[in-house]
Amino acid sequence: MTHRQPWATAPLLNTLFLSPKDVAAIVAHQGVAATLMGLVTAIREDFLRWTEFDKSARLANHSQDGVIELMPISDASSYSFKYVNGHPKNTALGLSTVMAFGVLADVATGRPKLMSELTLCTAMRTAATSVMAAMALARPNSRTMALIGNGAQSEFQALAFHHLMGIEEIRLFDVDPRATAKLINNLQNNPDAAKLRLMVCKSTREAVAGADIVTTLTADKTNATIVSADMIEPGMHINGVGGDCPGKTEIHPDVLRTAKVFVEYEPQTRIEGDLQHLPADFVVTELWQVLNGQKSGRDDQGQVTVFDSVGFALEDFSALRYVYDQALRIGLGVDLDLIPALDDPKDLYQLIRPKTTGRATPTSPRGHTLANRAMPMKEVQIMPELV
């Protein structure tokens, strides 16, 4: 844990940096449930002022093994972006499938106020968004959830739905038994999950049977069919999280055709979500319209609802401003000299201007003297052919 003085005492040019340990310290200070609830509140607040944001689909660069994306968004006062990747094969290399960092900047000046890790934050804001959507779309008395895919995000989804939605039983399935064992170990030894029942299932079909909510969190970059129409029962809410880029889906199109479908930002979801299988005129509802009362969510207890969640930049904006506020309140993070401090802001050259005589000769980080290679003016030779 790193400590800092309150932001008000820091130089104007400094950028607050939050490491993964700093964000973990925020969670430890507040508790998992309180942090998730704080994120739900922040994300909901921003969704309710949806029209105030300058929005766009994320910019993606795809390769054979994964994708690297930039996710920008801004309102009248703040701008943010997230750098994030998705490489399912990374775990074989000892790397996370998803790695991310983000920046929160002041719109009026462009000054970056915050640079933060977003790998942990992304998992938590995704779980918070899932719960926020389920609060609006799932049956209020939902108590059982199927969790298909037990990788890095699974614990956060489980804890969010347990604490904030009242889920009492989670039915687990993953094609990799080690992932399920990891999830069980993390939750069984966690006082935050003491009252949560975990049931290991042999298949997706077994896990889904009788569930009120179905959450899919698979990682393979393929057009997979994790959930098919014959598994769906009346009144279910499907929380589709794993399908989040072109060619990477989880839910059979027939499930969507028979359900009422909700999305974050429609232009992005039509390209990246499970929605990519359906024609452009297939009707969906953006979640913000349900939250502010413009459109209805679930119409009756027997209706099947789907939240085709791909992750949207507004959720990262909310997460960044949330951890920024908490870090200032607690006193976490370190100041980065990311932006040059200039005596004259019009004179950037001063950073490399040759030192005047009598000052100490600058040295490199290894201690070697750095010779002044600037040629004195009296030694400059003007070539005749250039005159």
**What's the confidence (pLDDT) of residue 223?**
83
Contact 228, 274 (CB under 8 A): no
The values of phi and psi at residue 38, to 5°, are: -60, -40
**What's the confidence (pLDDT) of residue 366?**
40
**What's the confidence (pLDDT) of residue 221?**
74
Using DSSP, state whether 103 is helix, strand or coil: strand
pTM of the predicted protein model: 0.88
Per residue in 148-181, pLDDT (tens digit) is 999 999 999 999 999 999 999 999 999 999 999 9
**What's the confidence (pLDDT) of residue 222?**
82
Per residue in 262-289, pLDDT (tens digit) is 999 999 999 999 999 999 999 999 999 9
- Kindly tell me if the per-residue pLDDT of 383 is higher than 80: no
The values of phi and psi at residue 348, to 5°, are: -70, -25
Cα atoms in the 13 Å half-sphere on the side-chain side of 386: 3
The values of phi and psi at residue 126, to 5°, are: -65, -45
Q: Which two tokens stand for residue 127?
A: 């779980």
Please confirm, yes or no, whether 244 is among the known catalytic residues.
yes
Domains, the chain, ordered by start: 7-120+316-336 (3.30.1780.10), 139-312 (3.40.50.720)
- Distance, in Å, from the CA atom of 255 to the CA atom of 232, rounded to the nearest integer, reads 8
- Distance, in Å, from the CA atom of 102 to the CA atom of 73, rounded to the nearest integer, reads 12
**What's the confidence (pLDDT) of residue 115?**
98
Catalytic residue among 46, 212, 244, 274: 244
For residue 221, give Cα distances in angstroms to 18, 58, 156, 249, 271. Answer: 30, 18, 22, 8, 14
